[in-house]
Structure 1
Amino acid sequence: MKRARLIHRGEATRIALDVAEHAFERMRGLLGRSCLDAAQALWLEPCNAVHTFGMRFPIDVVFIDDRNCVLAIHRNVQRARLLFCWRARSVLEMNADAAHVCGIGIGDRLAWRALP
């Protein structure tokens, strides 16, 4: 997986990303992790659907279109849920309530910048 920094409204944030671009990485997602640090998230690309079956902790799920605009935000998603957004190109998975804490809203632009 690539390591990157989340870019929100054109500015680098404190959120460190794992970028899952390969099929196996996307399928595994956050499964098997017991927690996610407050300053960590997972960017899945391409992706327009996620599930939380087998998850050990609640997450925020942010759907992003091909222009990097936020289409939908599902907050505090519990285990055993299935979410999808047909127009999405990417999905950002974060700790529960992290989207709110970071000030991410519908229509915001999100991107990532690879770390050296």
Structure 2
Amino acid sequence: MGRLLVDGRDVANLMLADTWARRARGMLGRRRLPEAMWFVGEASVHGMGMTQALDVAQLDADGIVVAVHVLRPFGLVPPRRGAVDVLEAPRGSFERWGVRTGSRVARDDGTGSGPGG
């Protein structure tokens, strides 16, 4: 587990979905959703099997938000030109954190790695 940075501000605990198994599970079937989940190498996501809406940001290779969506249960966020990763969080999180198109997000795992890290 690491931390999520938005425009240089530390805002939340972050789970990294960087393997096929972690990406496949995502936020599905969790009693309590993680504060934020970063899907590495995914340009789109779906809400199949989800019971609540999520905030979704599509990110370019530098961690710049290229699009922001609300993913409703059983909905779909299609791929977007330039997007290479996806950030998900419980609905309402992005408003609190100030995540919008053009924001820069980064992962901090204590080593300074990750886009913007």
TM-score range, shorter chain: 0.7 to 0.9
How far did 1:35 drift?
3.6
Q: Structure 1 or 2: larger strand share?
A: 1
Q: C-alpha separation between the residues in 2 aligned to 1:93 and 1:115? A: 21
Identify the residue that residue 45 of structure 1 maps to in structure 2. 40
Q: C-alpha separation between the residues in 2 aligned to 1:46 and 1:101? A: 26
How many residues are aligned here? 110
Tell me the TM-score normalized by structure 2: 0.86
Which residues in structure 2 correspond to 1:52-71 (within 5 Å)?
52-71=47-66
Q: C-alpha separation between the residues in 1 aligned to 2:19 and 2:46? A: 17
Q: C-alpha separation between the residues in 1 aligned to 2:81 and 2:46? A: 14
1:106 aligns with 2:101: yes
Which residues in structure 2 correspond to 1:13-28 (within 5 Å)?
13=11, 15-28=12-25
* CA shift digits 1:39-78 (9 cap, x unpaired): x111100110100010121110111101110001103x21
Identify the residue that residue 89 of structure 1 maps to in structure 2. 84
User: Runs of 5+ in structure 2 lacking a partner?
Assistant: 112-117
Q: C-alpha separation between the residues in 1 aligned to 2:37 and 2:53? A: 14
Q: C-alpha separation between the residues in 1 aligned to 2:73 and 2:31? A: 13
1:29 alignment partner, one of 7, 13, 26: 26
State, as a whole percentage, how many aligned pairs show the same letter. Answer: 30
RMSD: 1.5
SS, match of residue 101 in structure 1: helix
How far did 1:10 drift?
1.8
Tell me the TM-score normalized by structure 1: 0.87
Q: C-alpha separation between the residues in 1 aligned to 2:82 and 2:7? A: 21
Identify the residue that residue 73 of structure 2 maps to in structure 1. 79
How far did 1:12 drift?
1.9
